[in-house]
Amino acid sequence: MHICLRRFAAAACAPVLVSFAGFPAARAASVGVAEELERLSQAHGFKIKGIDQVQQAVGRAEGDDLYPRLRRLLTDFDHVIVQAPEGGVEKVIILGAKVPYEPPPAPPAPAGDRDEEAAKGEEAAGDGEEGEIVLETQRRGTQHSVKVGLEGSGGRVEQTLLVDTGADNLVLPVSSLSRLGLAPNSLNEREMQTANGKVTARFGKIQALWLGETRIADVDVAFVEDNKLGNGGLLGMSVLGRYKMTIDDESNRLILRRP
């Protein structure tokens, strides 16, 4: 079957081979990410949040299956793909463009080799007991996301997390285990209730979570398969529950204070 597609009024009409799944069967093509997301949303009935983040972006349109097609399309963006309990995709949340990878910092020098005042300052920042934490947020409609630091034996990496008071835990994709130096067999596996039903998660701890300059040690975390979460994550109540939280919608800030 051949159909004729026109993107602009002056464009020439060329035949396009269409597979039975409704996607072009030819090799990967460059497409506008926002336009392709809207087309797939209409065809498959899922919702999109944060589409304003990809308005000028170009991505790859490749594959017949919806989930891997979305992953390839959004390869340059932190995102969450929420799958429906009965199968298919329920929602796509775009958190923002990926931050280029930076090698982990060198391990800190032993405490005895540091300047005494510097060590005291690090200790004060480490437990987060004093003052308040103010983080800039990225707005996604009524939702906010923040950049945090995740610390493991593999070093410290940045991650964008959706602020979610409905999540009991800090939730990360399984693919982040290696970056944090964690072995899958060191975690406990059990079911976790989410807004979209029960999923199997691997529970454990990371060495620390950094909120700005504040370090929170030994944070409980649930690792969920990437095809259930995407390569984003959720900042849940295992962290937020330690603070009195205020979200300033007007200035896009998350403010955390000790109770």
What are the tens digits of pLDDT across the range 98-132?
654 444 455 555 545 444 444 433 333 333 345 78
Residues in the chain, how many?
259
**Tell me: the pLDDT tens digits for 207-223?**
999 999 999 999 989 99
pLDDT bucket at 230, cuts 50 / 70 / 90: low
The mean of the pLDDT values for the chain is: 75
Residue 94 clears pLDDT 90, i.e. is over it: no
Domains of the chain, CATH where assigned: 14-97 (3.55.50.30), 131-257 (2.40.70.10)
Which pLDDT does position 110 carry in this prediction? 53
CA angle 69-70-75, nearest 5°? Answer: 105
Task: Please give the DSSP secondary-structure letter assigned to residue 224.
Answer: E
Determine the residue type at 149.
G
* pLDDT at position 164 over 80: yes
Share of the chain above pLDDT 70, in %: 72
According to the model, what pLDDT value does residue 11 have?
Answer: 35
Q: Return the pLDDT at 13.
A: 34
The share of the chain scoring above pLDDT 90, in percent, equals: 20
Structure token digits, residue 40: 């797939």
Tens digit of each residue's pLDDT (9 = 90 or more) over 169-227: 899 988 888 888 888 888 988 887 665 567 788 999 999 999 999 999 999 899 988 87
Higher confidence at residue 10 or residue 69? Answer: 69
Under a CB-based contact definition with an 8 Å cutoff, are residues 232 and 96 in contact?
A: no
Residues 81, 92: Cα–Cα separation, whole Å: 5
For 42-67, what is each residue's pLDDT tens digit? Answer: 999 999 988 888 888 998 888 888 88
